[in-house]
Amino acid sequence: MRVRRRSAFALVTLSSIALLGTTAPAVAAPDDGLLTAAATCSETPRELPINEFTDHRELGVELDRIERVSGGKVQVEQLGRSNRGREIHSARVGTGPKAVLLTSEIHGNEKTGTDAILDLLDFVGTSDSAKAKRWRSELTIVAIPKMNPDGAELDRRGNDMTWPEVTARHPQLRGVQPAWNYYTGSTQGDDYSKRPGFDINRDYHPDLNYVPRKEDFPGTSAQTGWYLSPETSIVRDVYRGLTAEFGKVDTYVDLHHQGACYVMPDDPEEFVTLSISGKFVDDPATTPGYEKYASKYDLKYSKQLNVAVNNALQGAANNRPVFGNVTLYPQDTNLPGTGLGSFALNGSGTVLFEVRGQTQTLGQQYRAVLTKSVYIGLDGMLSSIASGKVRTLDPADYDRIPPRGPNIGTAAEAEARLDG
């Protein structure tokens, strides 16, 4: 396991820099190794400090503070509890007609999204700027930061839930082979043998009323999930509630990390800062069994949302080039069992952020600038949705975003499959 020391400064995320305009230099420090690829880069898991990231207790404290200083503009709610009984919170801000759902830390070792969301909530809930007012009037933003608190506290990818606990929750599954995404061995340097768990980013199903069935197990990565875990069921219920309230969820964003050693395709001396994507499933119109979702599926809009993200980051790169190191996540992805895949099939525009380096490879190194990159992308996207400009963006610009370059790190091949 990585080091889990906590400090009194862990709540000081990006409040001192995140609210700077994206056309101004965000961080004074030089890019150092973040921009220029070192002679060697390792994907081998290591024990690294993570104390500067926001832990579960600190998240509750910070959400309470934001709700209080916002004067009620930000409304915090406990949605339920994780498998180990930790609170899962949401924060809602805005009264607009377009619902935007943000989630982070579905993988517990992918942490920058939570800090970026906190800074975003702080801004939109407290600022009197024209931008914040427009967001509040045009959007209803619902954020679920740290949706996998058990995995986050263990600083590992999966949650903390055994198969017997699954069958106790879903007794109709007794006697079947465990799901394919159930970890009982070692992965990413973490030993699940004593505390098994699931990759809950494979636990979604596009049928929002689906109930787990014995015949659907053990399944595969290319198939749908099952809503086995309380964490994914909670997100599904929020999505259903927003759909009932607004008619549809306009946009769904999931914040992730990928390997630390991917480089730009045209310059192997520069690391990828983050990869983005709006495509997670094969075209439902031509995919057997998914045809019923074809009328809702809107890949064009997902591409436009991602263009808005990229445009914001390229603009920020005028002052700090590292923000411009953006690539497309692999476009041959077909994962209907992810939240992004399932919610795309239900008609939402979708955006994936894959930030450089999980905690086992970078720890909290470059935390501020990587979190800032997420903030800039979200800022550009939300502004574009609120103004309506997103619908005028050319989806062909999405296909012009460069593909992700190779992973130059040691042990890259074994770990690359765990991206996303």
Confidence of residue 370 (pLDDT cuts 50, 70, 90): very high
- Mean pLDDT across the stretch 29-33? 50
3-7, 166-170, 214-218: the lowest-pLDDT one: 3-7
Residues 203 and 337 sit within 8 Å (Cβ to Cβ): yes
Q: Is the pLDDT of residue 14 over 90?
A: no
Would you give the end-to-end CA distance of the chain in angstroms? 20
Q: Could you tell me the pTM of the whole model?
A: 0.92
Do the domain assignments include residue 278?
Answer: yes
Q: For position 191, which CATH number holds? A: 3.40.630.10
Q: Is the pLDDT of residue 145 over 90?
A: yes
Do the domain assignments include residue 12?
Answer: no
What pLDDT shows up at residue 121?
A: 98
Which run of H or E residues covers position 138? Answer: helix 130-138
Q: Which of 91, 53, 17 is nearest to 357 (CA)?
A: 53
- Mean pLDDT across the stretch 401-406? 97
What pLDDT shows up at residue 37?
A: 67
Query: Residue 258's beta-bridge partner residues?
Result: 356
6-15, 64-73, 318-327, 331-340: the lowest-pLDDT one: 6-15
Rounded CA gap, 383 and 17, in Å?
19
- The distance of Cα 77 from the centroid of its chain, to the nearest Å, equals 20
Q: What are residue 322's phi and psi, to 5 degrees?
A: -60, -30
Q: Is the pLDDT of residue 20 over 50?
A: no
What does the mean pLDDT of the chain come to?
91
Query: DSSP E strands: which ranges in 160-199?
Result: 182-183, 186-187, 190-191, 197-198
What pLDDT shows up at residue 33?
A: 57
Residues 64-76: tens digit of each pLDDT: 999 999 999 999 9
Percent of the chain scored above 90 by pLDDT?
86
DSSP string, 263-332: EETTEEEEE-SEEEES--S--GGGSTT-GGGTTT--HHHHHHHHHHHHHHHHHHTTT-GGGG-EEEPPTT
Which burial class, exposed, middle or buried, applies to 78 when counting CB atoms under 10 A from its CB (0-12, 13-18, 19+)?
exposed
Do the domain assignments include residue 2?
Answer: no
Residues 267-317: tens digit of each pLDDT: 999 999 999 999 999 999 999 999 999 999 999 999 999 999 999 999 999
Cis? peptide before 206, omega within 30° of 0: no
- Mean pLDDT across the stretch 116-124? 98
- Mean pLDDT across the stretch 245-270? 96
AA identity, residue 50: I
Confidence of residue 34 (pLDDT cuts 50, 70, 90): low
Residue 298's domain comprises: 32-416
Q: What are residue 89's phi and psi, to 5 degrees?
A: -100, 155
**Eight-state DSSP code of residue 178:** P
What pLDDT shows up at residue 39?
A: 64
Which run of H or E residues covers position 57? Answer: helix 56-69
Confidence of residue 236 (pLDDT cuts 50, 70, 90): very high
What pLDDT shows up at residue 38?
A: 63
Indicate the number of domains in the chain. 1
**Eight-state DSSP code of residue 401:** S
Do the domain assignments include residue 197?
Answer: yes
Residues 79 and 90 sit within 8 Å (Cβ to Cβ): yes
**For residue 298, how many C-alpha atoms fall within 13 Å in the half-sphere facing its CB?**
19
Confidence of residue 419 (pLDDT cuts 50, 70, 90): low
Do the domain assignments include residue 59?
Answer: yes
What pLDDT shows up at residue 304?
A: 99
Q: Which of 275, 276, 277, 282 is nearest to 297 (CA)?
A: 282
Residues 120 and 164 sit within 8 Å (Cβ to Cβ): no
Residues 332-350: tens digit of each pLDDT: 999 999 999 999 999 999 9
What pLDDT shows up at residue 4?
A: 39
What pLDDT shows up at residue 135?
A: 98
Q: What are the residues whose beta carbons fall under 8 Å from the beta carbon of 139, sequence distance 6 or more?
A: 94, 96, 98, 99, 100, 382, 385, 386
Q: Is the pLDDT of residue 229 over 70?
A: yes
Confidence of residue 28 (pLDDT cuts 50, 70, 90): very low
Rounded CA gap, 399 and 300, in Å?
11
What pLDDT shows up at residue 40?
A: 78
Taking each helix axis from N to C end, the angle separating 112-126 and 56-69, rounded to the nearest 10 degrees, works out to 10
Do the domain assignments include residue 17?
Answer: no
Do the domain assignments include residue 202?
Answer: yes
Do the domain assignments include residue 11?
Answer: no
- Mean pLDDT across the stretch 85-103? 98
Residues 159-206: tens digit of each pLDDT: 999 999 999 999 999 999 999 999 999 988 899 999 999 999 999 999
Residues 59 and 44 sit within 8 Å (Cβ to Cβ): no
3-state SS, residue 365: coil
Residues 122-140: tens digit of each pLDDT: 999 999 999 999 999 999 9
